[in-house]
């Protein structure tokens, strides 16, 4: 009898987790920043798709683009010439979503994962184009509000450590507003 009770309890626990499962997709738009003193920030965007399972745990994949940033000559290895830089790639994350109660319309999120980003550069005066690829670790935090059963708005901050910038490795930070659809 104990074995049957345990089996039923495990089954019900698993079933309730899948009953809470949710597919989501959406997009973000905002600013991107890199660790330089004199830089014109880029207009960043992300498109993402994910799946929440086991109540609050999720996995997601995002396509990201930092937008073009204008890097001052003081910050580059290219003497007396500024550089336009753009970061494009993918991120793969595991996330945790926290809702204080089932009835609550707001939630917080935290995620960690890996990225694969290509750094594209264009030297302003010569027009020479250069590229480098980097893989590394990333993180993110966010807060959101469910407007309706299937639509939410939110705010996210994502960081990508060790992104290649042709001379060094820097942290790329993307701060965005989010629109998501949940099913």
Query: Does some domain include residue 147?
Result: yes
- Measured CA to CA, the distance from residue 35 to residue 24 in angstroms comes to 32
Question: What's 117's domain CATH number?
Answer: 2.40.160.20
Please state the domain count of the chain. 1
For 42, what's the count of Cα atoms within 13 Å in the CB-facing half-sphere? 25
> Is residue 13 a part of any domain in this protein?
no
The answer to whether 70 and 92 have CB atoms below 8 angstroms apart is no
Average pLDDT estimate for 21-31: 94
Q: How many other β-carbons are positioned within 10 Å of the β-carbon of residue 73?
A: 15
In a domain, 12, yes or no: no
Cβ pair 32, 66 in contact under 8 A: yes
Is 3 part of any domain?
A: no
Rounded to an integer, what distance in angstroms lies between the CA atom of residue 51 and that of residue 18? Answer: 11
Residue 114: which domain range? 21-182
- Cα–Cα distance measured from residue 162 to residue 32, given in angstroms and rounded to the nearest whole number: 15
Q: Does any domain span residue 92?
A: yes
**52-67 tens-digit pLDDT:** 987 789 999 999 999 9
Token pair in block for residue 57: 């745990």
- CA-CA distance, 48 to 17, in Å (whole number)? 23
159 against 78, higher pLDDT? 159
What's the pLDDT at 9?
44
Poorest-confidence range of 16-20, 99-103, 122-126, 143-147? 16-20
Would 114 be classed as within a structural domain? Answer: yes
């Amino acid at each position: 009898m104990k074995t049957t009770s345990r089996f039923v309890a495990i089954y019900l626990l698993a079933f309730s987790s899948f009953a809470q499962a949710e597919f989501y997709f959406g997009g973000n738009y905002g600013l991107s920043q890199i660790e330089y003193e004199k830089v014109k920030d880029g207009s960043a965007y992300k498109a993402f798709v994910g799946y929440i399972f086991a109540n609050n745990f999720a996995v997601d994949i995002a396509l990201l683009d930092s937008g073009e940033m204008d890097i001052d000559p003081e910050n580059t290895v290219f003497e007396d010439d500024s550089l336009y830089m753009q970061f494009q790639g993918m991120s793969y994350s595991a996330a945790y979503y926290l809702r204080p109660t089932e009835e609550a319309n707001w939630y917080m999120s935290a995620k960690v994962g890996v990225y694969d980003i290509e750094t594209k550069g264009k030297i302003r005066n010569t027009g020479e184009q250069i590229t480098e690829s980097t893989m590394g670790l990333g993180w993110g935090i966010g807060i959101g509000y469910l407007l309706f059963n299937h639509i939410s708005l939110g705010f996210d901050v994502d960081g990508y450590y060790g992104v290649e910038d042709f001379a060094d490795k820097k942290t790329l930070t993307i701060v965005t507003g989010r629109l998501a659809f949940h099913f």
